[in-house]
Amino acid sequence: MTLSSGSLELNRQNTRTIDRTGGTFPHTSRVDPGHVTPARLPAHLREVSDVQAAPDGRIDCTQHVLRVLDWLGVYVLVPIGGDDTLSYAERLSVEHVAVVGIPKTMDNDVYGTDYCLGFSTAVTRSVQFIHQLRTSAGSHEPIAIIELFGRQSGETTLLAAYLAGADRALIPEVPFDHQRLPELLLRDQRNNPSNYAIVAIGEGAFPLGEVAVESGMEDAYGHRKLGRVGRLTGETLSQLTADVFEELEPEEQVEFLESRSNADAAAVLARMAPDDAVDLLSELDQQRRATVLDLVPQPHARKLPTLLQYHPATPAA
């Protein structure tokens, strides 16, 4: 038997190096056999009698799966996976198939288990990535937002953030206050001698009063794609930072601008009226002023150099 024919007999030769790489050895289909859409039903199953229509229009192929297991002589099934894989394994158990489930998921969120295979790797790689990011963060002085795995469980994000020394962690179990977050991150940034901050966000995290950010069509298990919460949090952070800036006194605005990275300073100036932006620019030293000006987007990029040339605080040529 071969993998191309739908099954593969395992032996010492073809499993000798199976533990050296990640991923799934027999590949994956992302299909729930108990809940198949008509469009995804294989052609050879459309005329057989052991598939059943469900009330929602989907098709239950479980009886066919049981028949195939019997034909293969499989009397004990050892599924390895997360909630979705093991939920269908539980269905087969109800149908009197002997099942030994092995939890394997980066989220470590299989109910009734303390530890899932793959969780340690996910945390280790996340910690490595956060550490590697510090070199760039220390140079450019940003508030770095790192989005990690975790649909409903934030354990991967929480442990990775703790072990890597991130400043904040946002997880699905605890909705965050998007109004207070900028204040905390700006304080973290100011308290760091290298003037940057790092926040790790689980992909299922969401602000108070809102829901997780989802996109795309549902998969076979009813899940839509999670993600983009990191980017949306970054956009919100930029806007709220600008709002905080506008409430400061002129002297505090200068101090605030001097504490920001060049890119952040340019972004703040781009939101201001040109005359006000020039007043602040004139307070920066000449080298920093030129660098920030180069990063200011249009249309301010055309106006500010001319206004700055005639500003009273600008030294005469």
Amino acid identity for residue 232 in this structure: L
What would the pLDDT profile of 249-268 be if each residue is shown by its tens digit? 777 777 777 766 777 777 77
Range name among 75-79, 167-171, 209-213 with the lowest pLDDT average: 209-213
Q: What is the pLDDT of residue 126?
A: 93
pLDDT band at 300 (very low <50, low <70, confident <90, very high): low
Contact 207, 176 (CB under 8 A): yes
Q: What is the pLDDT of residue 51?
A: 79
Cβ contacts of residue 45 below 8 Å, gap of 6+?
51, 61, 64
Q: What is the Cα–Cα distance from 164 to 144, expressed in whole angstroms?
A: 13
Q: What is the pLDDT of residue 162?
A: 95
Q: Is 107 a catalytic residue?
A: yes
DSSP structure class, residue 154 = -
Q: What is the pLDDT of residue 128?
A: 94
Range name among 20-24, 57-61, 89-93 with the lowest pLDDT average: 20-24
| Among 134, 252, 127, CA closest to 194 | 134
CA-to-CA separations, 73 to 1, 46, 68, 69, 312, in angstroms, rounded:
13, 24, 9, 6, 89
DSSP 3-state of 144:
strand
Contact 201, 147 (CB under 8 A): yes
Q: What percent of the chain has pLDDT over 70?
A: 81
Q: What is the pLDDT of residue 7?
A: 76
Average pLDDT over residues 127-139: 89
Q: What is the Cα–Cα distance from 80 to 100, expressed in whole angstroms?
A: 9
Average pLDDT, the chain: 80
Given a cut of 50, whether residue 3 has pLDDT beyond it is no
What would the pLDDT profile of 158-204 be if each residue is shown by its tens digit? 999 999 999 999 998 998 887 788 778 888 888 888 888 999 988 88
CATH 3.40.50.460 positions along the chain are 119-241
Given a cut of 50, whether residue 317 has pLDDT beyond it is no
- For strands 102-103 and 80-81, give the pairing: parallel
What would the pLDDT profile of 94-132 be if each residue is shown by its tens digit? 999 999 999 988 888 888 888 888 888 889 999 999 999
Average pLDDT over residues 286-301: 74
pLDDT band at 292 (very low <50, low <70, confident <90, very high): confident
Q: What is the pLDDT of residue 205?
A: 85
**Size (the chain), residues:** 317
What would the pLDDT profile of 263-281 be if each residue is shown by its tens digit? 777 777 777 777 777 777 7
Contact 108, 155 (CB under 8 A): yes
Given a cut of 50, whether residue 234 has pLDDT beyond it is yes
Catalytic residue, chosen from 19, 50, 83, 107, is 107
Q: What is the Cα–Cα distance from 13 to 276, expressed in whole angstroms?
A: 73
Q: What is the pLDDT of residue 5?
A: 63
Q: What is the pLDDT of residue 219?
A: 60
Q: What is the pLDDT of residue 1?
A: 46
Q: Which two structure tokens, joined as six digits, stand for 312? A: 């009273």
Phi–psi pair at 42, nearest 5 degrees: -60, 145
Give domain 119-241's CATH superfamily: Phosphofructokinase domain (3.40.50.460)
Contact 101, 89 (CB under 8 A): yes
